[in-house]
Amino acid sequence: MTNETMAATTAGSARVQGLGRSSHEGCLVPILAAASDDVGVDWGTVPAWVGAVGSVLVAFVIGGGLLYEIKLRRMADERAAAERYDAAAAQARLVSVGGGIAKTKGGKVSVRNDGDAPIRNIAYAVVVRDSNGEVRRVPARSSKPRQPFVGAHSELRADIISAEVVDPRTSSIEVGFTDQNGRRWALTDRDELRQVHYEPEAPDHRH
């Protein structure tokens, strides 16, 4: 084979290989583009991604700030409510109850008022606690129904009788009274104080 023939053959092979690579590369480009279109992937640009991440972070910061503000306001409201209750209960905290249920239906009670104003509308009840922790209040009457108040720096002692049989081991005496501002309170011989709603009994006009 002559040098001219070999050169021609080599050039022809190179052209064939070049055509093959060009053909394959030309086919791959539209295939990849079609695949991207089929799955709907749009990777966007770097600024767009940075903007999206920044928006999410800003939303988290704003949301966290609002939650913290709500928490602070709730704590402030609870603190103000506790302060109002303490101020309202100032006189009631100067009252103490002693005694207890000594028998299945009766017991003795003492009501001490160390405040500077009298307490009125004295009423009695027996607080019964069952094994499940539930509380039930049983009405009770006093041996001194004609003394419905306790004067300032005074003490009242009386016998009480429960409206039903109770267990002395799980019962305590509760005394209800009204302070000088018209607030109604209930206090047990276990020093449990609570504010209650009070509706005076209607007068009996049958006599």
Instruction: With a cut of 60, say whether residue 108 has pLDDT above it.
Output: yes
Q: State pLDDT tens for residues 115-126.
A: 999 999 999 999
The whole-number average pLDDT for the span 83-102 is 88
Is there a domain that residue 207 lies in?
A: no
Q: Domain check: are 143 and 76 in the same one?
A: no
Q: Domain check: are 18 and 106 in the same one?
A: no
Is there a domain that residue 202 lies in?
A: no
Is there a domain that residue 30 lies in?
A: yes
Is there a domain that residue 205 lies in?
A: no
CA distance 143 to 166: 18
Is there a domain that residue 156 lies in?
A: yes
Is residue 15 helix, strand or coil?
helix
Q: Domain check: are 82 and 107 in the same one?
A: no
Q: Domain check: are 135 and 171 in the same one?
A: yes
CA distance 124 to 144: 11
Q: Domain check: are 53 and 69 in the same one?
A: yes
Q: Domain check: are 66 and 120 in the same one?
A: no
Is there a domain that residue 203 lies in?
A: no
Q: Domain check: are 64 and 112 in the same one?
A: no
**What range defines the domain where residue 55 resides?**
43-88
Give the pLDDT confidence score for residue 205 in this predicted structure. 47
Q: State pLDDT tens for residues 182-191.
A: 999 999 998 9
The whole-number average pLDDT for the span 33-53 is 57
Are the beta carbons of 177 and 185 closer than 8 angstroms? Answer: yes
| Mean pLDDT computed over every residue of the chain | 76
Q: Domain check: are 109 and 183 in the same one?
A: yes
Q: Domain check: are 55 and 144 in the same one?
A: no
Is there a domain that residue 144 lies in?
A: yes
Adjacency order of strands within the sheet including 95-101: 95-101, 106-113, 154-162, 135-142, 120-129, 171-178, 184-188, 193-196
The conformation of residue 173, written as its DSSP 8-state character, comes to E
Give the pLDDT confidence score for residue 180 in this predicted structure. 92
Structural domains counted in the chain: 3
Burial class (CB in 10 A: 0-12, 13-18, 19+), 171: buried
Q: Domain check: are 117 and 189 in the same one?
A: yes
Is there a domain that residue 206 lies in?
A: no
The whole-number average pLDDT for the span 30-47 is 52
Q: Domain check: are 22 and 111 in the same one?
A: no
Q: Domain check: are 105 and 189 in the same one?
A: yes
Residue 125 has φ and ψ, to the nearest 5°, of -155, 160
Give the pLDDT confidence score for residue 91 in this predicted structure. 92
Residues in the chain: 207
Instruction: With a cut of 50, say whether residue 203 has pLDDT above it.
Output: no
E strand or H helix at 93, and its extent? none
